[in-house]
Amino acid sequence: MKFGVVVSEGPYTHQASDSAYNFVKAALENGHEVPRVFFYHDGVNVGTRLSIPPQDERNIQKNWTALAAEHDLDLVICIAAAQRRGLLDENEASRQGKDANNISEGFRISGLGQLIEMGIQTDRLMTFGD
């Protein structure tokens, strides 16, 4: 079965991104497909490569990046939500005249259409938010 997953809250502040990670991992390990994970609202902040969590805490971004690499996951950050919140890839940064970018390996930035498409093309849509 194909699961689409929405993550609506930022890392650490809300448990949403942890719960989504645990759900996706369990789905993949049990023979299901997760064609896409869509990060919306503050969820876009999960994709920053600049976070440095305390050493005795989990590294949420690295967990997602590793899971994406292992299972060839499509981790999509909503461009509109990302622009408000200061999450950029190299392309966007240069297009917008910003002097830095902060997106992590394994994530890509794209439009809201990817969320709707995910809803159309998957069998179940899961939302993890606040």
Partner 1 sequence: MSTLHTVNKSPFATGSLQSCLSHAKDGDAILMFEDGVYGATKGTTLADAVAAKGGSVTLYVLQGDADARGIAAARLIEGVTPVDYVGFVRLAADHDRTHAWL
Partner 2 sequence: MDEKIKKFLYVNRKAPYGTIYALEALEVVLIGAAFDQDVSLAFLDDGVFQLVKNQKTDGIGVKNFSPTFRALGDYDVTKLFVEQESLDERGLTADDLQDIIYEDEDDDWAEKPSIRIVSRAEMADVMADQDVVLSF
The helix/strand/coil state of 2 is strand
Under the binding rule (CB under 8 A), the answer on residue 121 touching partner 2 is yes
Q: Which of 12, 23, 62, 112 binds partner 1 (CB under 8 A)?
A: 23
Q: What's the token pair of residue 109? A: 């930035």
Under the binding rule (CB under 8 A), the answer on residue 85 touching a copy of itself is yes
Please give the backbone phi and psi of residue 125, each rounded to the nearest 5 degrees, phi first.
-115, 125
Under the binding rule (CB under 8 A), the answer on residue 42 touching a copy of itself is yes
78 is catalytic: yes
Query: Computed over its alpha carbons, how large is the radius of gyration of the chain?
Result: 14
Place of tokens 């609202």: 41
Specify the residue, 17 or 122, whose C-beta has the smaller distance to a copy of itself.
17
Q: Which residues are catalytic, by number?
A: 78
